[in-house]
A and B are shown apart, each in its own frame.
Chain A
Amino acid sequence: MQVEISRRRFLQGSATLCVVGAGITTTLFSSEKEKEKLTPTTKTGTKDVRLVPTLCEMCVNKCAAIARVENGVVTKLDPNPYFPKSKNMLCARGNAGIQALYDPDRLKYPMIRIGKKGEGKFKKVTWDEAFTYIKESMVKILDEEKDNRSSFLFCAGEGMAEHTFKMFYEGFGSANWLNHSSICLQTVASGYGVTIGEYPQVDFENTKYIIMAGANRAEAIVTPDTMDGFKKIKAKKNAAKMVCIDPRFTNTAAKSDVWLPIKPGTDLAFVLALTYVTLQEELYDKEYVAAHFNHFEAYKEMVITNNYTPEWAEAITGIKAEEIYKVAREFMENAPQAIYYPGRRSTFSKNDFQLRRAMAIFQALGGGIDCEGGLVFGGKLPLEDHESLAPMYENAKARATVKKENNAGYSDCAVVSGGGSWISWRNNFLENKHPYNTRGMFCYKHNPMMNMPNTKKTAQMLQKMELLVCIDTMPSDTVMYADVVLPECTYLERTDPVKTFAGIEPSIAQRNKVIEPMYDTKPVIEILRGLTKKISKPLFEITKKYDAEVQEAIMDSSEEEVYAEFDLTLPFAHSQEELNAHAVSKYPQAKENLQKYGVHYPDMQTYFKQLSANEYESYPKNKRFYTVNGKKPKTPSGKVECKIDSFTQKGVDAMPIWRDEYAFHVPEGKFRLLSGRHAQFTQTGTANNMMLNDLMHENYLWINKRVANEKGIAFGNLIEVTSSIGSTRLKAYPTEKIAPDQLFFIHGFGQEASGLTWTYKNGGNDNAIIEDTMEPVYGAAVMHETNVEIRKV
């Protein structure tokens, strides 16, 4: 971007930062005095140091870091070379994790709302006062709802302690669980899951050809794909060729050999045309197909008779037919060492599930499944399970959904997955369509206000909840609506559940506590320990009152025995350290290695070696897990599923086919809005990070330079972007990197929570204008189907 080029422009940016920082009073969250003595960076020393291996939580990747602690202060986070997944690297966000720890805006103590919902006025309380408030409210609601445990909704963002929070949900006995999946990778994970049996990983290190479509690995970093991929395509020896398919010229496009701009939402036509060429010219791996495909002939016939030719696809995708022929032929020439990258992202278009199916089938046609240089499932080091609590509540109703009239499926989608459909749930709740009332909500490390389309509706939903309990580290837009705020400590102040990482080089890694929690904050396991102690018995009293089965059981045995099955405190009785030690108890030395190195895998001590200042080797090549399933898919049938007839009963196409309504169309005078990621920010969670804010203070609206010229829009002009559901304002960035009929800005800005000093009202909020439409299979939010208008303010 232009702002990144010269120091002079940068100066303007930093001046703005000062004005914004000084102009806002946030008496509740940070005092002016604190801001004055703020020293955000600390030069590392040369004397006494304590080094603690931990895992990053600045995004989803969980890269391994080594924290440097000097005089009790975390002064630096360095990459941990022992972890094969993150391969001795830490990105900008990983390095800036220190600022998350020392953010003066952090939630510092429990709070109870004193103003109107959403107003952000709270009073400081003790943990006991907060727990008591929650108890009283829960007892009232549960009593009135006659022990329908599903009258409480539980939602959580992705993270290592999500599991801990989920144990609370399971023990409590609600059926309403919503997580990030329907605003994240539900369709891609499931598309690959049903087609080849698992959402796979990739082996970029040994591949020769990469189709990178709709995935921006230079800016949406995924480890180890980002490191392996870009090193591979720029390698001096045995470089892979990368073809980037993206409507926008991203940093990934900048690193590719070929960039093919595509009309948004038409990737399915592109893949079907690649498939057509492969079938028509018989380029596929015939042996592989004969051995490992179900319904190949039907699929072939469908693709050929539908005439999915490159010429047909050219009109839909905007990619020249000759390019499509070339990519198909090159891919199959290099297969199985060729990868159509599965991607890991939100759903962009309504056909996303079918797109992923078509991608998986195309990949399998070349035989590149479970093999070196192709898609891989990888090895896994299983952990010991721990006891969980799952009591049966007679009056707990099933998940709140809305069925179709004849009871054939759901009103919004064919399938309701474990993570649910956020938009469907929210909208049906608002429209009072659910079969029962949901009146309370627990929200852990999740920001529904900012993370899903149609912010207005989310605000209405949160308003409507009688009890909203937020467990978080920051005063987010969602926290503003909370009745009770329970402050969690940051990832550098807690040990989290140990996690096993499957892959070509499998390992177990642990987030170790670096320093003691600051302020009056706690890890979620301790928060839930305290909360369940307070609420477990009183809530059981309600179950006793309404649950005939429980009443009978007490008659048959004793209350004490029955309560033991309902005792919510049980999952949180042990410390995280004890739980982790148990989880890895079958691996000798694992507990010690996880504390000392943060990482463990069998034979680590003999396998691990440093190759150069930059390169480490975790496993010798002949010990890596490239092939774990005989190169077969992992579906129950052991075959690639081209055609799944059972889908048709649910109104889902049995095979990926193109439908005319998928075509890209923008009415005259409007633009298609695209959103996406950036290598310096993770969704909305890092927006207030002072260091990252310093790199980019706000998001900019990408608009084609020629269009901007016609409209008299210059760099930095404030633009109002309006859709059918709302509007947002941000500054313009005219560029040729985007098509004339499209606009783009990165997700995660435009926060309205005034407690976020550094990011309050910076830039535009995409979810204020993205229409809340869903794809038909899982009800996942569709992010790239909104047309907008613009106006220079």
Chain B
Amino acid sequence: MARYGMVLDYKNCINCKACEVACKEENGILLGADKHRIWVGTGEIEGEYPLLSIASSAFIPSQCQHCDEAPCQEVCPTNATYYNENGVVCIDPDKCILCSYCMNACPYDARYVDTRAMVIDKCTFCSDTRLARGETTTACQNTCPTKVRIFGDLDDPNSEISEVLRTREHFSLKSHLGTEPKLFYLT
């Protein structure tokens, strides 16, 4: 029993997409750019050449926020979306009827249709691959060149993630929606 979360030191991200590929290879995700569990968000830069705003060109790595109050779980009519014993938001392919309520409910655009398994798939923090083998990192964290991510147990006060959250300023995405995400971005 743990309560898994992830810290993202997103300013370190260089948008190399190692995490996206590692995730796809680890978890057997389909190809197709609309089929990804994790991604790096970018925006168009502000200003006119040569007066450009460096600050406007941030890279924001993102994925399922593993909300403690997950809207996708709330709307699921068949209870296919559920919290596992570690607080990770998971999906049971046998129960999923592809109604796509969860896709619409998720404020983070974190769910997509896996047309092979016929399920609305999402990030599972590598629960059924790496964690199931006893590993302690997710594929995206482990492969990252600049080590953007720290994954760990939020309930363990001695974990690295708890330590970082105590000592570094951070924010969550769309926290005003009351979703209580377990992804934290370091400022």
Contacts and interface: CB of A to CB of B under 8 A. Distances in A.
Contacts of B146: 226-227, 230-231, 234
A313 B26 CA distance: 51
A249 B18 contact: no
Nearest to B15: A251
Interface in B93-150: 109, 112, 128-130, 132-133, 136-137, 139, 141-147, 150
A7 B25 contact: no
A33 interface: no
A738 B17 contact: no
Contacts of A290: none
Interface in B29-88: 29-34, 40-45, 47-50, 52, 54, 57-59
A739 B29 contact: no
Given A236-B168, A736-B45, A612 B160 contact: yes
B43 A46 contact: no
B14 A226 contact: yes
B12 A234 contact: yes
Contacts of A507: none
B16 A221 contact: yes
B54 A679 contact: no
Interface string A1-36: 110110100110110010000000000000000000
Given A44-B129, A98-B25, A613 B141 contact: yes
A261 interface: yes
Contacts of A256: 54
B86 to A, nearest CB: 16
B34 A44 contact: no
B167 to A, nearest CB: 9
A77 B14 contact: no
B183 interface: no
A261 B112 contact: no
Given A231-B12, A739-B50, A43 B27 contact: yes
Contact of B33 (A2, A13, A252, A261): A13
A14 B32 contact: yes
B136 A613 contact: yes
Given A14-B34, A78-B143, A226-B145, A249 B52 contact: yes
B33 A11 contact: yes
Given A5-B42, A95-B25, A231-B146, A253 B54 contact: yes
Nearest to A707: B49
B30 to A, nearest CB: 7
Contacts of A91: 16, 18, 143, 145
Contacts of B30: 41
Interface string B1-31: 0000000010110111110111011111111
A98 B20 CA distance: 15
A98 B25 CA distance: 8
Contacts of A45: 129
A555 B27 CA distance: 69
Interface residues of B, number: 59
Interface string B165-179: 000100000000000
B151 interface: yes
B106 to A, nearest CB: 12
B49 A704 contact: yes
B25 A10 contact: no
A76 B26 contact: yes
A736 B48 contact: yes
A736 B49 contact: yes
A231 B146 CA distance: 6
Nearest to B133: A46
A571 to B, nearest CB: 37
B181 interface: no
Given A4-B42, A77-B25, A92 B147 contact: no
A89 to B, nearest CB: 4
A514 to B, nearest CB: 14
A735 B29 contact: no
Contacts of A78: 139, 142-143
A90 interface: yes
B29 A41 contact: yes
Given A5-B43, A614-B150, A259 B18 contact: no
Nearest to A227: B145
Interface in A81-134: 88-92, 94-96, 98
A231 B145 CA distance: 9
Contacts of A46: 128-129, 132-133
Given A14-B33, A234-B11, A737 B25 contact: no
B49 A95 contact: no
B16 A679 contact: yes
Contacts of A179: none
A691 B24 contact: yes
A42 interface: yes
A691 to B, nearest CB: 6
Contacts of B168: 236
B185 to A, nearest CB: 13
Contact of B18 (A17, A75, A89, A704): A89
Contacts of B21: 92, 95-96, 691-692, 695
Contacts of A223: 145
B14 A218 contact: yes
Given A7-B109, A231-B147, A737-B52, A695 B20 contact: yes
Contact of B48 (A90, A219, A706): A706
A651 interface: no
A98 to B, nearest CB: 6
Interface string A268-297: 000000000000000000000000000000
Given A42-B28, A251-B59, A254-B58, 20 more contacts: A5-B42, A14-B31, A17-B32, A79-B143, A89-B143, A89-B147, A92-B18, A92-B21, A95-B22, A226-B146, A230-B12, A234-B12, A249-B45, A249-B49, A255-B14, A318-B50, A613-B150, A679-B14, A691-B24, A706-B48
Interface of A: 1-2, 4-5, 7, 10-11, 13-14, 17, 40-46, 75-79, 88-92, 94-96, 98, 218-219, 221, 223, 226-227, 230-231, 234, 236, 249, 251-256, 259, 261, 318, 612-615, 679-680, 690-692, 694-695, 704, 706, 735-740
29 contacts: A5-B42, A14-B32, A41-B25, A43-B26, A43-B27, A43-B28, A44-B26, A44-B130, A76-B25, A77-B25, A89-B18, A89-B145, A91-B143, A92-B20, A95-B21, A221-B145, A234-B11, A234-B146, A249-B45, A251-B15, A261-B50, A318-B50, A613-B137, A613-B152, A614-B141, A614-B147, A694-B32, A695-B20, A735-B44
